[in-house]
Each structure stands twice: as C-alpha cells, then as structure tokens.
Amino acid sequence: MNPQSPSEEKKDKKKKSKLEFKPHVLPSRKQKKPFLLNREKKKCILYSTLATILLIVFTNITRCHDAILKEAVYQALTTIDVESKNENMQRAKSIPSPLLRKKHHPIAGLNCKDHGGPSDPSEMVYWDDIPADSKYVSPFYDEEKYITFEPDRGGWNNIRMAYEAILVLAHATGRTLVLPPEKEMYLLWDGEGKKSFTFNDFFHLESISKEHKGMNIITMEEFLKKKAITGQLKRRKTQEVYLPPDNKTDWNGQDLDPLWKYLRRVGKYPNWDPEKCIAAIPSDKDGNNIQVLKQMMADLQSGKYGPIPDPDKEFINNPVPVDAEPIYRLREMLAGRKELCTYNESLQKEPLLHFKMEYERDSFDSSARMLTHFYAFIFFQDWKQDLFYKRFVRDHIRYIDDIMCAAARIVEAVRERSRNYNRANLKGLYDSWHVRRGDFQYTHVKVGVDELYKESEEQLRDGSKSLYIATDERDKSFFEPLRQTYDVMFMDDFMHLIEGVNPNYYGMLDQLVASRGEVFFGTYYSTLSGYINRMRGYYSTKNKSEGYELGALQSYYFLPHDIKHDMTHYQAVRPAHFMREYPTSWRDIDKSLK
C-alpha cells in the first residue's frame, strides 16, 4: 500500500466525515453546537410532524363527535328517566310512605292462601271490582287541599261509621284525607297484641289510594312535615304562622288532645250537624248549583212538593227510584231535617277542613259528632255520584284479609257442625243472633235469655238449624237454657281456628260470622248489629236473595216490639240515623253501571 501524502490524507478525512453517521449528542450549556440535519431529513421530519398534528386533530374531532353524541344520548335518556321519576313522585305524593311500603292488595276476590285458609272463602265476598269506578275523580279534586278529623270516641262500630262519612266527604270534595295517628280505641285493648290502631289496621287503604285516581290518603306525620313544619298552616284568627306543639310530627301512641286543639285552630270546621242538616254536594263547580240546592230545600219546606214526609209511613216498600230527580231523592232522605249544609264556594276555597269530635258519652245530642251513616247524611245532586259512593264504601271499606279469612274458617266450621246436627241440612245453614250486653247504655233492650227466646221463637221455628250467637257476654252460662232447643255455638268453640289473631279483631269476626246466618236477630241501637245487617244487604243483592229488589232481609230485632220487623221491608232513613242501617245503602246501587 502506497503511503498517502499529507494532502491526500486530509482530503480522505474530510470525505469520511461526510459519510459517517455520528449519533447526535445534546450539547451541554457550555458546549453549544448546532443540530445539523440534511435537507431530506428535515423534510421527512416536517411531513411526519404535520401528519402527527393532523392525526391528533382528526382523533380529537372524532372524540369530540363521539362525546357530543354520547352526551346527547345521555341527556335524552336522563330526561326520560327524570320525567319517569317525576311521574312516579307525583303518583307517590298522594300515598304515605307507610302505605307505599305495604304490598299492594288487589280489590277483587279473596285469597286466604297466605292467611291460614280456608281454600275456598268465596262465600265471604260481597264486594266487587269495578274498573270504571277507579277512574272517577271529583270535579272539586285538588290534592293540595286536605281533610283532617278526630275519630269518634265510642266503640269500634261508631268509629267505623264516622270514618266512612269522612272518607266519602274527602273523596267527594276532592281533598287529600289525613289519617289520625295510631291510638288506643275504646274497648279495643284486649290481650297482649297490638292495642294502638289506625284505620289501615282494619281496611285495605293502600288499595284505595293506589287504585283510585281521585283518592289521596296520607298519614298525619306526613301531613305535618309537609304543611305544618314548613310554616304553611296559619292560625285562623290571626293569620300568623302556627307550628304544631313542640314542632312534633310523630304523634303515634301519644295523647292527641294537643294535636286536636292545634288542628282546630288552623283548620276550618264546617259546623255540620247530621241531626239538623243534610250535607249537600253540588254536581260540579258551577256556583249556580248551590242556589239550586238551597231552593230545593226551601220548596220542600214550603210544601210545594206535598207535606213533609213521614218515613215510617210514606216510603214503606215504596222507594224513590235511585235515578229520580234530585228534589225527590232529597225529599226521601229529609228525616225531619230542615236545613242544607252545602259545600259552597267559601268552603271549596279552604285549604284545610277539620272535623272535630265532642260529645258526652251518655248523650248523642251533640253538634260535633259524626254519629251517622254516610248515606243518611250526604246528599249528591248527581244521582250517579250518589250510587258511586255507595259502591265505593261497599267495595273498599271491607275488613282486611286477615280478618275476612279468619271469619271464613269459622263459617266453614259452623256449616259443618250444622250439617252434622241435622243430616238433612245439606247446605249447613245456620241462624244467628247478636246479643249486646256489656256496657250497653240502652238498658231497656238488655233482657233475660227467656225473653230473647220468646221473641225469636216464631222466626227460628223448630230449631232444626244450629244457632251461632255473637255476644260480648263473657259468662256463656247465661245462654244455657237455649241448649234445650238449639245447637248453640259461640266463637269460643272455634278458638283453635283463629290462633294468632289479635283479640281486638274478635268483634269483627263475630259480625262476619253472624252476617252469614240465614235468619238473624240483632240488638236495636247497636251499630254492631246494624253493620251486620248492611253486610247482609250486600250479600242479599249479590246472591239475589228473596226480596232483594226492595232491600228486604230475613233480619229482626228482639226489641222494641214495634220495630221488630223493620228490616223485612223497605223503609227510608229516619232519626236517629245510627240506630239501624237502611236499604238505601245497598239497594240498586249498581244501576248507574247498566
């Protein structure tokens, strides 16, 4: 190899420096050398950078588009969900949380599978499920207006009777019904079971509130939280915000007198006395209807439509048609009353109506006691509304399944025993009595067993059927003489069938078992006997029993003698209304459905 000259070596080094790739080293702060790249590489880097930027921009545009699309879909779904929730909340407004937590109970039929049997309780069913009725809404409907009330302080059937009237008034006036707090009820304090009650312990109120568009029911606690604690209730005299005692909302099981005093001060008491006036509900909001109703009463009192009727004479087996003109229907239910208590425009504007309860236990002459049947007190200008409310009570204010099924087990056993007593009695028919003794204030109808036997002997005939006696008499030896003639039975004979049932339901069981008797004898003045007869009226209509067209029943009273046969024929309402029930509550009440 020939040695290179120094000049050639220098040229060769320059050539190599251009061809060799040396990794780029970032210069230190002290060593600042240029970052040299050839033109082609610069172009590649520039294009690569531009491509990367475009890719990033495109990707972000795509992501934004997807995000916008997703957001739009989400918003749509959220809106639908919110609207759905709002709908549900609106629906739930009318029902208190305790009722919402209860399993919904369908109205139709009776299933005792989960209530201890029997397998076939169908004979206990007198009510009906009428879809058209569930859609009816009062023309006065406003769920932000309310009715509160103080329960009657008498026995259970007086309490129930007053409650029916308040319930009908609440629905008819379109107001939300506020249930009283749980509290002990007179004579319902037996045994070790529950002793503080509200009406939901006896009736399926959750079904009414859920299935009827026009009926809202809430608890007192919910009402106080919503309206009182928020400062929306004012003392009527001063119009100042008036809070409940100690700002309390939960009054269950407590002394309720302070609560009632509070509600009397913030609510409007209509001052309607069932013994003196008839509560008139106009057919709609048209103010002219109030004047029409008042003129009707004035015309009746003036004699324009004949003399004031005597219900003991004029309407015997001669009922006014249920779809008659309002004035003739009003004339039939006067029962000596000369005034109308109208649901006028002033009352319609009141946010809260409160019905108080005041009376002396030994007197029924009180202007602040709803001691009346709803159908004997409330008059509807529209006959279809009148029949609707009679069906409403029949179909909804019936005892809860626990009570109905326990009674069905006893009825089944009573029929079996009656068949065994008389083999010719294939249907297991039995007769029934209700003998009220205990603390009954009407002592002239509290008589000895010999007189009870004497008064009923003709109707019970030869004693070929067993006799079920519903009674509050604890000493059953009182009835011992009857065993010489009848196969006598009491609830005591069937206690093995109702183990676990609250003893405070026993009176209701007695009612139901007695109501299925073929011939029934009751105690006049007793609202327990009265309700037995009303249920017998419902059964008679459903089964189209003899005389059902006029509302007649095979029911009698032991005493007084002059009213013994009153239930065997049609008779209009008469004072005092509570002493018995009347056929107008069950006769032809389905006519408006035809």
Q: Residue 245, preceding bond cis, omega within 30 degrees?
A: no
Give the pLDDT of residue 49: 60
Cβ contact 588:576 at 8 Å = no
> Is the pLDDT confidence value at 327 over 60?
yes
Q: How many helices (H) and strands (E) does the chain have?
A: 17, 14
Which pTM value belongs to this model? 0.82
* Cα–Cα dist 143/154, whole Å: 30
Q: Is 14 left (phi over 0), alpha (psi -120 to 50) or beta?
A: alpha
The model's confidence at residue 360, banded by pLDDT at 50, 70 and 90, is low
User: Of the candidates 216, 218, 267, 223, which has an alpha carbon nearest to the alpha carbon of residue 249?
Assistant: 223
Q: What percent of the chain has pLDDT over 90?
A: 74
Q: Which amino acid appears at position 388 of this protein?
A: F
The residues, any chain, with a CB within 8 Å of residue 439's CB and separated by 6 or more, are 187
The residues, any chain, with a CB within 8 Å of residue 3's CB and separated by 6 or more, are none
DSSP-derived 3-state class of residue 467: strand
Mean pLDDT for 185-197 is 81
Mean pLDDT for 548-571 is 98
* Cα–Cα dist 212/214, whole Å: 5
SS3 of the chain: helix, strand, coil, percent, to 5 = 45, 10, 45
| Residue 63 vs residue 339, higher pLDDT | 339
pLDDT digits (tens, 9 = 90+) for 401-424: 999 999 999 999 999 999 999 999
Q: Which amino acid appears at position 55 of this protein?
A: L
> Is the pLDDT confidence value at 259 over 80?
yes
pLDDT digits (tens, 9 = 90+) for 202-217: 999 988 888 899 999 9
The DSSP 8-state label assigned to residue 389 in this structure reads H
> Is the pLDDT confidence value at 306 over 60?
yes
* Cα–Cα dist 293/161, whole Å: 26
> Is the pLDDT confidence value at 230 over 80?
yes
* Cα–Cα dist 382/281, whole Å: 9
> Is the pLDDT confidence value at 571 over 60?
yes
Q: How far is CA 394 from CA 15, 155, 435, 515, in A?
A: 115, 21, 25, 15
Q: How far is CA 377 from CA 219, 250, 253, 317, 494, in A?
A: 26, 33, 31, 21, 39
User: Of the candidates 537, 528, 487, 481, which has an alpha carbon nearest to the alpha carbon of residue 509?
Assistant: 528
Cβ contact 525:442 at 8 Å = yes
Distance between first and last Cα of the chain: 130
Q: What percent of the chain has pLDDT over 70?
A: 80
Q: Within a 10 A sphere around the Cβ of 333, how many other Cβ atoms? A: 23
User: Of the candidates 461, 485, 455, which has an alpha carbon nearest to the alpha carbon of residue 565?
Assistant: 455
Q: Which of 290-294, 404-408, 567-571, 576-580 is the least confident region?
A: 576-580
Q: Within a 10 A sphere around the Cβ of 86, how many other Cβ atoms? A: 10
Mean pLDDT for 536-540 is 99
The residues, any chain, with a CB within 8 Å of residue 49's CB and separated by 6 or more, are none
Mean pLDDT for 500-528 is 97
State the chain's maximal CA–CA distance in angstroms. Answer: 161
Q: Which helix (H) or strand (E) segment is 443 a member of?
A: none
Q: Is domain 401-593 annotated with CATH 1.20.1630?
A: no
Q: Within a 10 A sphere around the Cβ of 183, how many other Cβ atoms? A: 16
> Is the pLDDT confidence value at 520 over 70?
yes
The model's confidence at residue 188, banded by pLDDT at 50, 70 and 90, is confident
The model's confidence at residue 194, banded by pLDDT at 50, 70 and 90, is confident
Mean pLDDT for 139-159 is 96
Give the pLDDT of residue 40: 56
Cβ contact 391:348 at 8 Å = no
Strands (E), 294-362: 339-342, 352-355
Give the pLDDT of residue 14: 42
Question: In whole angstroms, what separates CA 213 from the centre of its chain?
Answer: 12
pLDDT digits (tens, 9 = 90+) for 426-480: 999 999 999 999 878 787 888 999 999 999 999 998 788 999 999 999 999 999 9
| pLDDT, averaged across the chain | 86
Assigned token pair, 548: 């059902």
* Cα–Cα dist 196/347, whole Å: 33
pLDDT digits (tens, 9 = 90+) for 85-125: 344 334 334 444 455 455 666 667 899 999 999 999 999 99
Q: Which residue has the tokens 């001052």?
A: 271
Where do the domains of the chain lie? 49-93, 97-396, 401-593
> Is the pLDDT confidence value at 484 over 90?
yes
The DSSP 8-state label assigned to residue 241 in this structure reads B
